[in-house]
Amino acid sequence: MHADYPIPADGASGLDDGSNENEWAAPAAEATPLFWQADKARPRPRRLAEETPIALTYNRVSHAVMMATPADLSDFARGFSLNERIVEEVSEIEEIEIVAAPRGAVELRLWITPARMEALDHRRRNLTGAMGCGLCGLDSLEEAMRPLPVVRHDLRLHGEQIAAACAALWPAQALGQETRAVHAAGFWTPEAALVALREDVGRHNALDKLAGGLVTAGQDPSQGVLVMTSRVSIELIQKAAIMGVQVLAAVSAPTLLAVREAEAAGITLIGIARADGFEIFTHAERILGAL
Protein backbone atom coordinates (compact mmCIF):
# COMPACT_ATOMS: atom_id res chain seq x y z
CA MET A 1 0.00 0.00 0.00
CA HIS A 2 1.17 3.53 -0.75
CA ALA A 3 -1.27 5.66 1.27
CA ASP A 4 -0.16 9.08 2.45
CA TYR A 5 -3.23 9.56 4.63
CA PRO A 6 -5.32 7.28 6.85
CA ILE A 7 -7.66 4.87 5.08
CA PRO A 8 -10.65 3.33 6.88
CA ALA A 9 -10.33 -0.42 7.28
CA ASP A 10 -13.31 -1.17 5.06
CA GLY A 11 -12.08 1.13 2.28
CA ALA A 12 -15.62 2.31 1.61
CA SER A 13 -17.63 5.22 2.91
CA GLY A 14 -16.46 8.28 4.85
CA LEU A 15 -16.66 8.59 8.60
CA ASP A 16 -19.66 9.93 10.47
CA ASP A 17 -17.97 12.10 13.06
CA GLY A 18 -15.37 13.99 11.02
CA SER A 19 -12.99 13.72 13.97
CA ASN A 20 -9.79 13.68 11.90
CA GLU A 21 -9.09 16.54 9.53
CA ASN A 22 -7.31 14.12 7.17
CA GLU A 23 -10.37 11.90 6.89
CA TRP A 24 -13.07 12.73 4.39
CA ALA A 25 -16.46 14.01 5.42
CA ALA A 26 -19.63 12.06 6.01
CA PRO A 27 -22.07 12.05 3.07
CA ALA A 28 -24.44 14.39 4.92
CA ALA A 29 -24.37 16.78 7.86
CA GLU A 30 -26.75 19.09 9.69
CA ALA A 31 -27.07 22.79 8.98
CA THR A 32 -29.39 25.40 10.44
CA PRO A 33 -30.72 27.81 7.84
CA LEU A 34 -33.31 30.48 8.51
CA PHE A 35 -36.78 29.45 7.41
CA TRP A 36 -38.78 32.44 6.14
CA GLN A 37 -42.55 32.27 6.48
CA ALA A 38 -45.24 34.92 7.02
CA ASP A 39 -42.69 37.73 7.18
CA LYS A 40 -40.77 36.02 9.97
CA ALA A 41 -37.54 34.05 10.04
CA ARG A 42 -36.69 31.24 12.41
CA PRO A 43 -33.93 28.63 12.54
CA ARG A 44 -34.94 25.23 11.19
CA PRO A 45 -32.32 22.45 11.09
CA ARG A 46 -32.03 20.28 8.05
CA ARG A 47 -29.61 17.73 6.64
CA LEU A 48 -27.50 18.79 3.65
CA ALA A 49 -25.66 16.51 1.24
CA GLU A 50 -21.87 16.68 1.18
CA GLU A 51 -20.03 17.37 -2.06
CA THR A 52 -16.28 16.91 -2.29
CA PRO A 53 -13.62 16.66 -5.01
CA ILE A 54 -12.85 13.03 -5.88
CA ALA A 55 -9.68 12.59 -7.92
CA LEU A 56 -9.23 9.41 -9.95
CA THR A 57 -5.70 8.36 -10.77
CA TYR A 58 -4.54 5.34 -12.73
CA ASN A 59 -1.10 3.96 -11.94
CA ARG A 60 -0.45 7.32 -10.23
CA VAL A 61 -1.35 9.32 -13.35
CA SER A 62 -4.14 11.86 -12.82
CA HIS A 63 -7.19 11.31 -15.01
CA ALA A 64 -10.23 13.20 -13.72
CA VAL A 65 -11.61 15.10 -10.77
CA MET A 66 -15.32 14.69 -10.10
CA MET A 67 -17.49 16.49 -7.58
CA ALA A 68 -19.22 13.66 -5.76
CA THR A 69 -20.74 12.45 -2.52
CA PRO A 70 -18.03 10.79 -0.38
CA ALA A 71 -19.69 7.39 -0.01
CA ASP A 72 -19.45 4.02 -1.80
CA LEU A 73 -16.11 5.10 -3.21
CA SER A 74 -14.84 1.64 -4.15
CA ASP A 75 -18.02 1.13 -6.17
CA PHE A 76 -17.50 4.55 -7.78
CA ALA A 77 -13.93 3.65 -8.75
CA ARG A 78 -14.96 0.36 -10.36
CA GLY A 79 -18.10 1.69 -12.04
CA PHE A 80 -16.43 4.81 -13.42
CA SER A 81 -13.57 2.73 -14.82
CA LEU A 82 -15.96 0.28 -16.50
CA ASN A 83 -18.45 2.84 -17.80
CA GLU A 84 -15.74 5.11 -19.21
CA ARG A 85 -14.11 2.04 -20.84
CA ILE A 86 -10.83 2.55 -19.06
CA VAL A 87 -11.06 -1.16 -18.30
CA GLU A 88 -13.16 -3.76 -20.06
CA GLU A 89 -13.40 -6.14 -17.10
CA VAL A 90 -13.27 -5.45 -13.37
CA SER A 91 -10.44 -8.00 -13.11
CA GLU A 92 -8.23 -5.51 -14.98
CA ILE A 93 -8.28 -3.34 -11.86
CA GLU A 94 -5.45 -4.75 -9.80
CA GLU A 95 -5.79 -2.55 -6.70
CA ILE A 96 -7.82 0.36 -5.35
CA GLU A 97 -6.66 2.71 -2.62
CA ILE A 98 -8.91 5.35 -1.10
CA VAL A 99 -6.72 8.15 0.19
CA ALA A 100 -7.92 11.11 2.23
CA ALA A 101 -6.43 14.41 1.07
CA PRO A 102 -6.41 17.85 2.72
CA ARG A 103 -9.60 19.89 3.06
CA GLY A 104 -11.90 16.91 2.71
CA ALA A 105 -10.86 15.84 -0.77
CA VAL A 106 -10.36 12.18 -1.67
CA GLU A 107 -8.05 10.46 -4.12
CA LEU A 108 -9.08 7.16 -5.65
CA ARG A 109 -5.86 5.47 -6.66
CA LEU A 110 -6.38 2.62 -9.09
CA TRP A 111 -3.73 0.28 -10.39
CA ILE A 112 -4.72 -1.30 -13.70
CA THR A 113 -3.04 -3.82 -15.98
CA PRO A 114 -0.20 -2.63 -18.24
CA ALA A 115 -2.30 -3.19 -21.37
CA ARG A 116 -5.17 -1.04 -20.08
CA MET A 117 -2.76 1.66 -18.91
CA GLU A 118 -1.14 1.73 -22.33
CA ALA A 119 -4.57 2.23 -23.91
CA LEU A 120 -5.36 5.01 -21.44
CA ASP A 121 -2.04 6.72 -22.16
CA HIS A 122 -2.89 6.63 -25.86
CA ARG A 123 -6.27 8.20 -25.14
CA ARG A 124 -4.66 10.93 -23.06
CA ARG A 125 -2.09 11.77 -25.76
CA ASN A 126 -4.92 12.28 -28.22
CA LEU A 127 -7.03 14.35 -25.84
CA THR A 128 -8.03 17.56 -27.61
CA GLY A 129 -10.02 19.29 -24.89
CA ALA A 130 -11.87 18.91 -21.66
CA MET A 131 -15.34 17.40 -21.73
CA GLY A 132 -18.23 17.87 -19.35
CA CYS A 133 -19.46 15.73 -16.48
CA GLY A 134 -19.94 12.12 -17.54
CA LEU A 135 -17.67 12.40 -20.58
CA CYS A 136 -14.31 12.53 -18.84
CA GLY A 137 -11.06 11.77 -20.61
CA LEU A 138 -12.47 11.24 -24.07
CA ASP A 139 -10.39 11.67 -27.21
CA SER A 140 -12.76 13.60 -29.46
CA LEU A 141 -16.33 14.30 -30.43
CA GLU A 142 -16.29 10.97 -32.28
CA GLU A 143 -15.42 9.21 -29.04
CA ALA A 144 -18.14 11.12 -27.19
CA MET A 145 -20.67 9.83 -29.74
CA ARG A 146 -19.17 6.36 -29.99
CA PRO A 147 -21.40 3.57 -31.31
CA LEU A 148 -23.04 1.73 -28.45
CA PRO A 149 -23.39 -2.01 -27.96
CA VAL A 150 -26.87 -3.40 -28.64
CA VAL A 151 -28.31 -4.92 -25.47
CA ARG A 152 -30.09 -8.24 -25.06
CA HIS A 153 -33.80 -8.51 -25.80
CA ASP A 154 -35.12 -11.28 -23.56
CA LEU A 155 -36.75 -9.29 -20.75
CA ARG A 156 -40.53 -8.83 -20.59
CA LEU A 157 -42.27 -6.86 -17.85
CA HIS A 158 -45.78 -5.83 -16.87
CA GLY A 159 -46.63 -2.18 -16.43
CA GLU A 160 -47.31 -2.86 -12.76
CA GLN A 161 -43.71 -4.03 -12.37
CA ILE A 162 -42.37 -0.79 -13.82
CA ALA A 163 -44.55 1.13 -11.38
CA ALA A 164 -43.29 -1.03 -8.51
CA ALA A 165 -39.67 -0.45 -9.51
CA CYS A 166 -40.15 3.32 -9.56
CA ALA A 167 -42.13 3.32 -6.31
CA ALA A 168 -39.38 1.38 -4.53
CA LEU A 169 -36.75 4.05 -5.12
CA TRP A 170 -37.75 6.89 -2.79
CA PRO A 171 -38.32 4.82 0.40
CA ALA A 172 -34.78 3.44 0.00
CA GLN A 173 -33.12 6.84 -0.50
CA ALA A 174 -31.76 7.43 2.99
CA LEU A 175 -29.47 10.28 1.94
CA GLY A 176 -32.12 11.76 -0.32
CA GLN A 177 -34.64 11.85 2.50
CA GLU A 178 -32.09 13.54 4.75
CA THR A 179 -31.03 16.18 2.25
CA ARG A 180 -33.47 16.44 -0.69
CA ALA A 181 -30.37 17.20 -2.75
CA VAL A 182 -29.01 13.99 -4.25
CA HIS A 183 -29.76 11.73 -7.18
CA ALA A 184 -30.25 7.99 -6.94
CA ALA A 185 -29.73 5.05 -9.25
CA GLY A 186 -31.42 1.80 -8.30
CA PHE A 187 -31.69 -1.71 -9.72
CA TRP A 188 -34.96 -3.63 -9.40
CA THR A 189 -35.66 -7.22 -10.44
CA PRO A 190 -38.97 -9.10 -10.67
CA GLU A 191 -37.61 -11.81 -8.37
CA ALA A 192 -36.06 -9.72 -5.59
CA ALA A 193 -37.49 -6.17 -5.98
CA LEU A 194 -34.96 -3.40 -5.24
CA VAL A 195 -31.61 -5.15 -4.89
CA ALA A 196 -29.22 -2.17 -4.96
CA LEU A 197 -29.30 1.61 -4.72
CA ARG A 198 -26.59 4.25 -4.79
CA GLU A 199 -26.91 8.01 -4.20
CA ASP A 200 -24.78 10.98 -5.14
CA VAL A 201 -25.05 14.69 -5.88
CA GLY A 202 -24.25 13.80 -9.51
CA ARG A 203 -26.55 11.52 -11.49
CA HIS A 204 -23.59 10.12 -13.46
CA ASN A 205 -21.76 9.38 -10.23
CA ALA A 206 -24.78 7.59 -8.77
CA LEU A 207 -24.97 5.36 -11.85
CA ASP A 208 -21.25 4.64 -11.78
CA LYS A 209 -21.53 3.67 -8.12
CA LEU A 210 -24.44 1.38 -8.89
CA ALA A 211 -22.52 -0.24 -11.75
CA GLY A 212 -19.61 -0.91 -9.44
CA GLY A 213 -21.88 -2.34 -6.77
CA LEU A 214 -23.63 -4.66 -9.21
CA VAL A 215 -20.43 -6.05 -10.69
CA THR A 216 -19.02 -6.59 -7.20
CA ALA A 217 -22.16 -8.51 -6.21
CA GLY A 218 -22.18 -10.54 -9.43
CA GLN A 219 -25.60 -9.12 -10.38
CA ASP A 220 -26.57 -9.09 -14.07
CA PRO A 221 -27.78 -5.55 -14.96
CA SER A 222 -29.67 -6.87 -17.97
CA GLN A 223 -32.23 -8.80 -15.93
CA GLY A 224 -34.07 -5.96 -14.24
CA VAL A 225 -34.95 -2.27 -14.34
CA LEU A 226 -32.46 0.55 -13.91
CA VAL A 227 -34.35 3.32 -12.10
CA MET A 228 -33.05 6.91 -12.03
CA THR A 229 -34.26 10.00 -10.21
CA SER A 230 -32.93 12.37 -12.86
CA ARG A 231 -33.58 13.41 -16.41
CA VAL A 232 -32.06 11.01 -18.95
CA SER A 233 -29.17 12.48 -20.93
CA ILE A 234 -26.96 10.83 -23.52
CA GLU A 235 -24.29 10.00 -20.92
CA LEU A 236 -26.71 7.87 -18.93
CA ILE A 237 -27.78 5.97 -22.04
CA GLN A 238 -24.13 5.33 -22.92
CA LYS A 239 -23.39 4.00 -19.45
CA ALA A 240 -26.57 1.90 -19.38
CA ALA A 241 -25.74 0.32 -22.75
CA ILE A 242 -22.22 -0.55 -21.60
CA MET A 243 -23.74 -2.14 -18.49
CA GLY A 244 -26.13 -4.16 -20.67
CA VAL A 245 -29.30 -2.61 -19.19
CA GLN A 246 -32.46 -3.52 -21.13
CA VAL A 247 -34.95 -1.22 -19.34
CA LEU A 248 -34.23 2.25 -17.93
CA ALA A 249 -36.97 4.15 -16.10
CA ALA A 250 -36.59 7.72 -14.85
CA VAL A 251 -38.79 10.20 -13.03
CA SER A 252 -37.96 12.98 -15.50
CA ALA A 253 -37.91 13.31 -19.27
CA PRO A 254 -35.13 12.22 -21.63
CA THR A 255 -33.41 14.39 -24.20
CA LEU A 256 -34.05 13.78 -27.87
CA LEU A 257 -30.51 12.51 -28.34
CA ALA A 258 -30.99 10.09 -25.47
CA VAL A 259 -34.12 8.74 -27.14
CA ARG A 260 -32.30 8.23 -30.45
CA GLU A 261 -29.38 6.47 -28.81
CA ALA A 262 -31.64 4.29 -26.65
CA GLU A 263 -33.51 3.22 -29.79
CA ALA A 264 -30.24 2.33 -31.52
CA ALA A 265 -28.90 0.43 -28.50
CA GLY A 266 -32.12 -1.55 -28.05
CA ILE A 267 -32.91 -0.05 -24.63
CA THR A 268 -36.49 0.39 -23.45
CA LEU A 269 -36.48 3.99 -22.24
CA ILE A 270 -39.23 5.07 -19.85
CA GLY A 271 -39.61 8.61 -18.57
CA ILE A 272 -41.99 10.84 -16.61
CA ALA A 273 -42.56 7.95 -14.20
CA ARG A 274 -45.20 9.02 -11.71
CA ALA A 275 -47.68 7.32 -9.41
CA ASP A 276 -50.37 7.56 -12.09
CA GLY A 277 -48.32 6.23 -15.02
CA PHE A 278 -45.26 6.63 -17.19
CA GLU A 279 -44.25 7.29 -20.79
CA ILE A 280 -42.43 4.73 -22.96
CA PHE A 281 -40.14 6.37 -25.49
CA THR A 282 -38.40 3.38 -27.11
CA HIS A 283 -38.78 -0.40 -27.50
CA ALA A 284 -42.24 -0.63 -25.93
CA GLU A 285 -42.40 -4.30 -26.91
CA ARG A 286 -40.69 -5.22 -23.64
CA ILE A 287 -43.71 -3.92 -21.70
CA LEU A 288 -46.49 -6.48 -21.96
CA GLY A 289 -49.70 -4.99 -23.30
CA ALA A 290 -48.10 -1.74 -24.43
CA LEU A 291 -48.40 -2.56 -28.14
Q: What does the alpha-carbon distance between residue 143 and residue 137 come to, in Å, rounded to a whole number? A: 10
Amino acid at 197: L
Amino acid at 125: R
Catalytic (active site) residue 133: yes
Q: What does the alpha-carbon distance between residue 86 and residue 67 come to, in Å, rounded to a whole number? A: 19
- Inter-residue contact 100 to 7 (CB < 8 Å): yes
Count of CB atoms within 10 A of residue 56's CB? 22
At residue 97, the 3 state secondary structure works out as strand
What is the rounded (10 degree) CA torsion for 12, 15, 19, 25?
Answer: 90
- Count Cβ neighbours within 10 Å for each residue of 137-146 and write b for 16 or more, e otherwise: bbbeeebeee
Q: What does the alpha-carbon distance between residue 56 and residue 212 come to, in Å, rounded to a whole number? A: 15
Question: Which listed residue (7, 15, 48, 133) is catalytic?
Answer: 133
Q: Report which of 211, 274, 219 is spatially closest to residue 240, judged by C-alpha positions.
A: 211
Q: Report which of 40, 3, 264, 271 is spatially closest to residue 147, judged by C-alpha positions.
A: 264
Q: Which residues pair with 48 in a beta bridge?
A: 29
Q: List residues with catalytic annotation.
A: 133
